[in-house]
Amino acid sequence: MNFLTNDLAAKDRLAVALDVPDTNAALALVDRLEGSCRWLKVGMELYYSAGNALVESLRRRGYSIFLDLKLHDIPNTVAGAVRSATLAGAELLTVHASGGGAMLRAAAEAAGSPGSPRLLAVTVLTSMDAAELISVGVSASPAEQALRLARLAKDSGIHGMVCSAEEVGSLRREIGPDALLVVPGIRPSGASVDDQRRIATPSDAISRGSSMLVVGRPITKAADPAAAARAVLDEIDAAMHSPLPRF
């Protein structure tokens, strides 16, 4: 699939992050979204509380599930986790690219069976900047490190990546139009940056070559989450059909 075309609807390019602590809070939030989105991201906090039962419940409601577990362990353990996510019916699943080639290859092999989720390799978290990378022994800039890890993931059989909007253009040029590039740290104009360091507006992120955007608090903490989601979708749609050249 070529993610640089306008064949996909705006709804295919937005995942709303359910960053809540339990099933009741998640389902209440989904009710308030009023069907305004198609993709829901379930992260570690919610998944560790609610497990596969919530994933299955959301799927029965017609949503596609992005399971954001950022798997990072020895190859055999990560392969087993990928198989467990397959049983839950998740369509997207994250692993940490920094887990190394052997781990990534094991994950890719486990995701080769029918019904498996598409894997996304997390490059550099959007909460990290150059100083944070230096503190963990990485002297490269976030952009350089993200590109290095994206190449490793691609060579290991994973063709989807998570990166910030600052790096998505270089990754798109490197990996090509068929890569699924997912960008978190999205903040509509005027929204609080919260704990994110490398952020962008929906329009900027799409114009730079993003396939899908992850938006959490600007939607989920809004007085009207459904209206906030529709506003983000309108911005995505406008960027998709802009005559300006991308990235």
Show which residues are catalytic.
Answer: 70
Contact 184, 159 (CB under 8 A): no
Q: How far apart are CA 110 and CA 95, in angstroms?
A: 12
The H-assigned helical ranges of 97-164 are: 101-110, 130-135, 142-155
